[in-house]
Amino acid sequence: MIKVFKLPDLGEGLTESEVVAWKVSPGQSVELNQIIAEVETAKAVVELPSPFTGTISALHAEPGTVVGVGEPLVSFDIEGADDDAVLASGHAPAKREANLVGYGAIVEKDGRPARRARGPVPASEAAPVVTAVVEDALAVVPDAVQERPRSTPPVRKLAKDLGVDLTQVTGTGQRGLITREDVNASASGTAAESVPVPSAVDGVRESRTPIKGVRKHTAAAMVASAFTAPQVSEFLTVDVTESMELLARLKANRAFAGLKLTPLTLVAKAVLIALGNNPTLNTRWDEAAQEIVQFHYVNLGIAAATPRGLTVPNIKDAQGLSLKELAVALAELAENARAAKTTPAELNGGTFTITNIGVFGIDAGTPMLYPGEAGILAVGAVRRQPWEHRGEIALRQVMTLSVSFDHRLVDGEQGSRFLADVGSILSDPGMVLTMI
């Protein structure tokens, strides 16, 4: 009996996923919970386990295709399946056939996920296996963020053959799907203009990349950040020679042997101390409740550039970590981000963020707030340059710090004091004794 498995809600109400890769092919036998595909959501690339034991009958989407929740994904030939268990449409019923690993809410009619009853989660319903994580963004994507044109692989091939740009075609199919008729209609009016004009680069004058995945949701988050929070930025250039000398001594200390110690390690510790003295930068604006939420812990976000885009994992309860523990946590965070092993839990719940633009040789910038946070600090490059020191000009190691904050939550005085505290610690590490 053929059963059609529809894309489930993979968590947090996500409405669609892109097929990244199939791990099976038609005619192949599969076992329950065997990994059959990798699909990318706004949160992560998730390994999708098989809901049945049987044989793959058909794959309904090629890699790169965006599939909506509730749309057919793969068909199974299930030996001995009960005919009455299959709906007249040929789709499998909403009730699961077995305990599955990693699925969200059951999909009912119209592709809408049904809510689960509250209660303990069975041990068999573990979390999805995450292989790569993307930045957690707002649930609602602004209209300004363009989605990839919805079409099937044969229609995309037809469009390519006819020289039709699908981004310029309005779909007349279900949920805006672009059909063959849409492509043919567009081609009839543009075929005469479809001859490409060669250029010096591979004969192509321009190329297009669909806005999706990390980039799509990063864009949504930044647009929301820019237009919902009144942001103010301040800058401070400080002499960090003593901090760099301290860093060299720590690297030679047995207690820190084998640890990766960088200027970011000291900056992170300085930020945590400064947040303790300036708690307004560790808050959140709750628009719905019309309340200011004060966090009594610091989940320290570290912006990380990865091949798949910008992610901001955070270190939970960082305020309680020693300098050594903080160094270990930063190293693990960076390693997981590079290897695309950051977990969803590490992406959620941040309260303050640091972005290290100095690694790119940049001195300063105006960092944009991560949505839901009151402040972000950009760390510039450490440079040797002439600087006034003890009444004379000397070559010193200098760094510029840039802070942006939500002016609804943080007054100018509070933001300035926070930045000054971070600068004081980095210019003279002994100042910590006066702050704790």
Which amino acids are annotated catalytic? 407
Q: Three-class SS of residue 279?
A: helix
| β-pair type (283-286, 2-6) | unpaired
- Residue 374's nearest CA partner among 427, 299, 306 is 299
Q: Nearest Cα to 216, choosing from 66, 367, 46?
A: 66
Question: What whole-number distance in Å separates Cα of residue 170 and Cα of residue 186?
Answer: 9
| 3-state DSSP assignment of residue 415 | helix
d(CA 307, CA 310): 8
How do beta strands 352-356 and 300-302 pair? parallel
pLDDT at 199: 47
The pLDDT, as a whole number, for residue 198 is: 46
Asked whether 411 and 419 are in contact (CB, 8 A), the reply is no
Q: How far apart are CA 39 and CA 222, in angstroms?
A: 24
Predicted local confidence at residue 254, as pLDDT: 93
Distance, in Å, from the CA atom of 140 to the CA atom of 34, rounded to the nearest integer, reads 33
Query: Which amino acid is located at 150 in the chain?
Result: R
In sequence order, the 6+-apart residues with CB closer than 8 A to the CB of 417 are: 277, 278
Residue corresponding to tokens 């490409």? 196
Quickly name the fold that domain 230-434 has.
Chloramphenicol Acetyltransferase (3.30.559)
**Biggest CA pair distance of the chain:** 90
Dist. CA 367–CA 90, nearest whole Å: 52
Residue 352: helix, strand or coil by DSSP?
A: strand
Looking at residue 39, its pLDDT comes to 85
Query: CA 335, CA 338: separation in Å to the nearest integer?
Result: 5
Q: What is the pLDDT, as a whole number, of residue 174?
A: 60
Tell me phi and psi for residue 86, to 5 degrees: -105, 135
Structure tokens at 339: 């290897």
Contacts by 256-261, CB closer than 8 A, 24 or more apart: 256/324, 256/327, 259/324, 259/327, 259/328, 259/331, 260/327, 260/330, 260/331, 261/327
Q: Report the candidate in 62, 41, 38, 57 with the shortest Cα–Cα distance to residue 49.
A: 38
- Take residue 414 and report the two structure tokens written for it: 């509070």
Separation CA 193–CA 183 (nearest Å): 15
Per-residue model confidence as pLDDT tens for the chain (436 residues)? 899 999 887 655 567 888 889 999 999 999 999 999 988 776 567 788 999 999 999 999 998 888 888 899 999 999 865 544 443 344 444 444 443 434 444 444 444 444 444 444 443 344 443 333 333 332 333 333 344 566 666 677 778 778 888 888 888 876 677 887 888 777 765 433 334 444 445 678 888 877 776 677 677 778 888 888 899 999 999 999 999 999 999 999 999 999 999 999 999 999 999 999 999 999 999 988 999 999 999 999 999 987 777 889 999 999 999 999 999 999 999 998 888 788 878 888 999 999 999 999 999 999 999 989 999 999 999 999 999 999 999 999 999 999 999 999 999 999 999 999 999 999 999 988 888 7
Superfamily of domain covering 153-209: E3-binding domain (4.10.320.10)
Q: Are 158 and 182 in contact (CB under 8 A)?
A: no
Using an 8 Å Cβ cutoff, are 353 and 370 in contact?
yes
Under 8 Å between Cβ of 351 and 284: yes
Write the CA distances from 129 to 96, 106, 300, 330, 412, integer angstroms: 20, 18, 24, 23, 44
Q: Residue 194: its pLDDT value, please?
A: 38
Q: Provide the pLDDT for residue 271.
A: 98
Parse the chain into domains and list their residue ranges.
2-133, 153-209, 230-434
User: What is this structure's pTM?
Assistant: 0.60
The CATH classification number of 2-133 equals 2.40.50.100
The closest of 347, 258, 266 to 304, measured between CA atoms, is: 347
Helix (H) or strand (E) holding 334: helix 323-338
CA dist., res. 207 & res. 192, Å (int): 20
